[in-house]
Amino acid sequence: MNIFTRQLYSLTFANMKARYRKTVAGFIWVILNPIILYSVQSLVFRKVLRIQLPDYSLFLLGGLLPWIFITNTLEMSIPYLFNAHNLLRGFRINPLLLILSQVLDNFINFLIAFFLILLPVIFLTEDNTSAFYLLPIPILILFLAIAALSSLASLMNVFYRDTKFVLSFGLNIMYFITPIFYPVEYVPKQYQWIINLNPLYYLIEAFRSAVYGFNSQIFWMACLKAFLVTLVIIIISCLYWNRRKNDLYYYI
């Protein structure tokens, strides 16, 4: 195990311990939030709003859980570099390791919550067209995209402190204009361009295409689009880091 891996493991473990410190339920609180949120939304959209979609619980699972991972990770990662200024100044450590450990912490929680919900949902639905064995592909793409996006947003927040407010406001709006709890076919044609410009839609759609109504051609095309979006995010993040990394320690 090299020094990078050891540091990443130690930081991730430290984040997980700090999150559960002085709590009675500990780890249960982290996975309880997405489970309750999913259960309530599934009930409201399926029974109250009566969205007519076969196996709606499975459809919602494929969109809501990735969205919770995306928003929680971004909101927790944005202030992370600035808040860790004492650690960065006192120890010789790669700033990207701090962000990556935070993303990995949330990623582990996301996977546990997802599979805890998935198991009972499979038994309660009639869908037999899912391809869960292909899930590692969109999951890996999702992780890489959010890791890069979190790194970019966290560094921007060091120089522009209103980044966290702008991003939080934007995510609240994007929740309603991203096909999470409704299928993209529900969006009128004149507004489809809004969906097409939404990068988070492609990340979620690749994930959902393996969970709900699997079609081989649609799945691989969705993964390709998600990969291209991720590649663009990584390139932008790398360029910005290379440009501003030398100013990081001055501004924190």
204-229 burial, b at 16+ Cβ within 10 Å, e below that, comes to: bbbbbbbbbbbeeeebeebbebbbeb
**Is 132's pLDDT higher than 90?**
no
Lowest mean pLDDT among 63-67, 103-107, 123-127, 139-143: 123-127
pLDDT mean over 21-32: 65
pTM recorded for the entire structure: 0.88
Structural domain boundaries in the chain: 3-251
For all residues of the chain together, what is the average pLDDT? 85
Band (127; pLDDT cuts 50, 70, 90): low
Compute how many other C-beta atoms are within 10 angstroms of the C-beta atom of residue 86.
9
pLDDT at 23: 60
8 A C-beta contact, residue 66 and residue 38 = no
Q: Which residue has the higher pLDDT, 40 or 11?
A: 40
73 pLDDT exceeds 90?
yes
Of 130-134, 217-221, 236-240, least confident by mean pLDDT is 130-134
**Does pLDDT of 219 surpass 70?**
yes
